[in-house]
Amino acid sequence: MAKNLRAVLKLKTVRVICALLIVVILATGVFVFVANANSKANPDILQVVRPKNPLRPKIAMFEKRITAVTEVQKLYNAALALPGVSPFATYNCPLDNGTKYELTFLDGTTKIKTMELEITGCAFISIDTDNIFHPQDVHHTDQAFFELFSHTIGFTNVDDLYKDM
């Protein structure tokens, strides 16, 4: 009788473990699909926000919506093409005062990607900043990217990104 009870409990345990394994596999598949569902979309709108920075209170908050499709797509593709940052490397980032721009790329009203552009210190751009199912990609920026960004948002030159407004 004890052997039968053990066999039944063992069988139930195996069934529960298999069911949990199936749930985990399906959930992982759904999360990966959701994370990559919009990765090939072409944005037509860019919302840019420079939040208030407590370390630089003289720099005003900035918000702008860009609807020039060609320019939005050019900036989007340029950001995705930037070289990645190694997660194993150590970076010494000078003069980081916390000034950043938050970029939201939209296809109509559908959010495609969010990015956070740091304009001081190491000047990295983080991609997928609000996607909990996908780790953030961090990329190096360069002067050409900053020029493209400043032009896209309507500044006359890169120095306007840092100005107290």
Residue 43's closest CA among 101, 112, 103? Answer: 112
Pair 20, 62 in one domain = no
Is there a contact between 43 and 72 (Cβ–Cβ < 8 Å)? yes
Domain that holds residue 21: 1-37
Pair 63, 28 in one domain = no
Pair 70, 124 in one domain = yes
Q: Dump pLDDT digits (tens) for 43-88.
A: 999 999 999 888 777 778 889 999 999 999 999 999 999 999 887 8
**Amino acid identity at 92:** N
Pair 64, 109 in one domain = yes
Pair 56, 18 in one domain = no
Residue 144 pLDDT = 95
- For residue 142, give the 3-state DSSP assignment: coil
Domain count, the chain: 2
Q: Dump pLDDT digits (tens) for 86-116.
A: 878 888 888 778 889 999 999 999 999 999 9
